[in-house]
């Protein structure tokens, strides 16, 4: 197998401005797609969506493609790219990219797509997802999981090409609204450039020798389980216990994305013991869990979240955190355990604005179902006008925050309750940052500092998976 190329959706807007510092070869379909036009383009460029077409230099196209003459040296610049979409640190910046630029029309807007080789993409992802000062073993571990996740998603895209996606992402009734968000939300490209997929910012943030070394030393390596590339998810901080896939996305179980206590006694390279295996030598993911509480149970989840048990990701070491958190991520200081407080008016208004549903005054937030990390995947909102159970975890996080709650692993305290039973304030006490499935970036950073090899880090977070060479 040769190194693949992928298509990354970068930006969607009515108008897209970009610059070509060196001459690029432009290809475009116009006149109903009957004629192919190609020419050289250089300098500042402006494209506009007009009448469902890409308007460039006075001519309308179905799509445009700008290809570099020197793939390794040439780079184009996109203006006003949004990073941290819908997160508390959302902002715009100009970004530079290697590879080709494709412009298409989607939903009455232009979409800018970067066509780039996998290893170049990964060099950017590793530099974008975490600091380039991270340990080599952490960077190598992240290179393998980012490559694995990407290629697994590309296989899904290829399988879906030419046929509508039949996988439901929402179930709705009078009593429940259960919705999840995944890669299948995208059409027209393989992955997006923001946290919804993997944070990708081209060559905007310069990579270092150690990042390039991590990519080179793991080139073509992926995580495999039962003959398939692993859907290797990751998040910032699991909060002490990893979550299972099914509680965040569709109801599918992956043995390598199972409940795991984020501590030394849980690692397969120390005291942890596999209790069941499969005939091909891989684990089915059932591990001894003597140190892992049953956080699906409400009482256990309450106790766990309200305390701060030891874990790899339970750290305030600024040296370690700076390896994982870029400058805007470091605006978040409390993530292992955190608190959010709302008045009645604040919460009622927030839920109404975020969900589009008027619940009236909020009487209660009732935990209905939790996953293996204590993250809620069903939450009942009880109001004076309406009662509805919502899920899964990201829907809950989006509904209860102007951007996103750090996680859905939280407990609820009501204060200043009126004689009519209306709370004056709600206090949410939470654990972790992100969905908690797969690798915990902060925990993995601590493991790297403590001398674990990248293969050991991967064994810890992806139970029973193995590293294989997919291409040279």
14 burial via Cβ count (<10 Å: 0-12, 13-18, 19+): exposed
- pLDDT the model gives residue 331: 54
Residue 71 has pLDDT above 60, yes or no: yes
290 pLDDT band, cuts 50/70/90, is very low
186 pLDDT band, cuts 50/70/90, is confident
How far from 393 is each of 230, 415, 433, CA to CA, in Å? 22, 25, 12
- pLDDT the model gives residue 84: 65
Instruction: Record the tokens describing residue 27, joined without a space.
Output: 């290809």
Quote the mean pLDDT of the chain.
87
Instruction: Record the tokens describing residue 268, joined without a space.
Output: 């397969």
Residue 57 has pLDDT above 80, yes or no: yes
- pLDDT the model gives residue 167: 56
308 pLDDT band, cuts 50/70/90, is very high
- pLDDT the model gives residue 34: 47
Beta bridge partners of 411: 429
Asked if 121 and 130 touch (Cβ cutoff 8 Å), the reply is: no
CA neighbor of 292 nearest in space, from 273, 269, 277: 273
Q: Tell whether the torsion through CA atoms of 122, 128, 131 and 132 is positive or negative.
A: positive
Average pLDDT on 75-95 reads 80
- pLDDT the model gives residue 347: 98
Percent of the chain topping pLDDT 70: 86
Strand (E) or helix (H) holding 318: helix 318-324
- pLDDT the model gives residue 284: 34
pLDDT tens profile 259-279: 999 998 765 543 333 322 332
Lowest mean pLDDT among 92-101, 195-204, 222-231, 294-303: 195-204
Residue 86 has pLDDT above 90, yes or no: no
Lowest mean pLDDT among 85-94, 210-219, 251-260: 85-94
Average pLDDT on 306-316 reads 95
Q: What is the CA radius of gyration of the chain?
A: 23
- pLDDT the model gives residue 108: 94
- Say which residue the tokens 């403590």 belong to: 450
DSSP code for 4: P
pLDDT tens profile 11-45: 999 999 999 999 999 988 765 554 566 789 999 99
Asked if 430 and 232 touch (Cβ cutoff 8 Å), the reply is: no
Percent of the chain topping pLDDT 90: 69
- pLDDT the model gives residue 205: 73
Asked if 187 and 104 touch (Cβ cutoff 8 Å), the reply is: no
- pLDDT the model gives residue 404: 77
- pLDDT the model gives residue 78: 96
The most confident of the ranges 200-204, 334-338, 366-370 is 366-370
Asked if 198 and 6 touch (Cβ cutoff 8 Å), the reply is: no
- pLDDT the model gives residue 33: 52
Strand (E) or helix (H) holding 217: helix 209-217
Average pLDDT on 373-381 reads 98
The most confident of the ranges 179-193, 265-279, 313-327, 414-428 is 414-428
- pLDDT the model gives residue 183: 56
Lowest mean pLDDT among 157-161, 202-206, 443-447: 157-161
Helix/strand/coil percent split, the chain, to 5:
25, 35, 45
Residue 285 has pLDDT above 90, yes or no: no
- pLDDT the model gives residue 168: 63
Phi, psi of 269 (to 5 degrees): -95, 0
| pTM (predicted TM-score) | 0.84
281 pLDDT band, cuts 50/70/90, is very low
How far from 159 is each of 150, 154, 167, 436, CA to CA, in Å? 14, 9, 13, 27
- pLDDT the model gives residue 327: 58
- pLDDT the model gives residue 127: 83
Instruction: Record the tokens describing residue 267, joined without a space.
Output: 């690692």
pLDDT tens profile 438-453: 999 999 999 999 999 9
324 pLDDT band, cuts 50/70/90, is confident
160 pLDDT band, cuts 50/70/90, is low
Beta bridge partners of 13: 110
Average pLDDT on 322-343 reads 78
């Amino acid at each position: 197998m040769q190194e693949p190329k992928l298509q990354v959706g970068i930006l969607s807007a009515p108008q897209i401005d970009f610059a070509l510092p060196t001459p690029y070869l432009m290809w475009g379909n116009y006149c109903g797609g009957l004629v192919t036009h190609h020419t050289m383009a250089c300098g500042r460029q402006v494209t506009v969506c007009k009448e469902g077409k890409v308007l460039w230099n006075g001519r309308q196209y179905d799509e445009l493609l700008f290809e570099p003459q020197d793939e390794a040296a040439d780079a184009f610049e996109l203006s006003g790219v949004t990073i941290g979409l819908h997160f508390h640190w959302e902002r715009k910046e100009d970004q530079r990219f290697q590879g080709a630029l494709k412009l298409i029309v989607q939903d009455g807007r232009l979409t800018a797509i970067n066509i780039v080789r996998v290893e170049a993409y990964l060099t950017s992802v590793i530099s974008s997802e975490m600091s380039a000062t991270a340990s080599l073993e952490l960077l190598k571990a992240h290179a393998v999981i980012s490559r694995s996740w990407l290629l697994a998603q590309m296989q899904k895209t290829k399988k879906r090409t030419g046929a509508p996606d039949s996988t439901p992402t929402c179930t709705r009734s009078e009593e429940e609204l259960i919705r999840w968000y995944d890669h299948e939300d995208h059409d027209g490209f393989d992955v997006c450039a923001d946290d919804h997929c993997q944070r990708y910012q081209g060559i905007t943030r310069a990579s270092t020798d150690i990042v390039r070394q991590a990519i080179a030393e793991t080139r073509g390596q992926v995580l495999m389980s039962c003959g398939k590339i692993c859907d290797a998810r990751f998040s910032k901080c699991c909060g002490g216990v990893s979550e299972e896939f099914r509680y965040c996305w569709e109801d599918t179980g992956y043995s390598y994305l199972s409940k795991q206590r984020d501590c030394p006694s849980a690692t397969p390279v120390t005291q942890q013991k596999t209790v069941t295996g499969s005939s091909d030598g891989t684990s089915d993911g059932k591990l001894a869990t003597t140190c892992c509480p049953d956080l699906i149970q409400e009482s256990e989840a309450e106790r766990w979240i309200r305390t701060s048990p030891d874990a790899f990701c339970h750290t305030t070491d600024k040296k370690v955190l700076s390896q994982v958190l870029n400058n805007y991520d470091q605006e978040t200081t409390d993530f292992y355990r955190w608190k959010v407080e709302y008045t009645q008016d604040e919460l009622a208004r927030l839920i109404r604005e975020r969900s589009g549903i008027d619940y009236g005054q909020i009487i209660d937030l009732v935990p209905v179902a939790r996953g293996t990390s204590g993250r809620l995947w069903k939450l009942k909102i009880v109001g004076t006008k309406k009662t509805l159970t919502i899920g899964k975890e990201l829907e809950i996080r989006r509904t209860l925050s102007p951007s996103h709650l750090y996680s859905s692993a939280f407990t609820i305290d009501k204060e200043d309750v009126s004689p009519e039973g209306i709370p004056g304030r709600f206090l949410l006490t939470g654990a972790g940052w992100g969905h908690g499935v797969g690798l915990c970036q902060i925990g993995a950073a601590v493991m790297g500092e403590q001398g674990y090899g990248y293969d050991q880090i991967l064994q810890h977070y992806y139970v029973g998976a193995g590293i294989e060479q997919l291409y040279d």
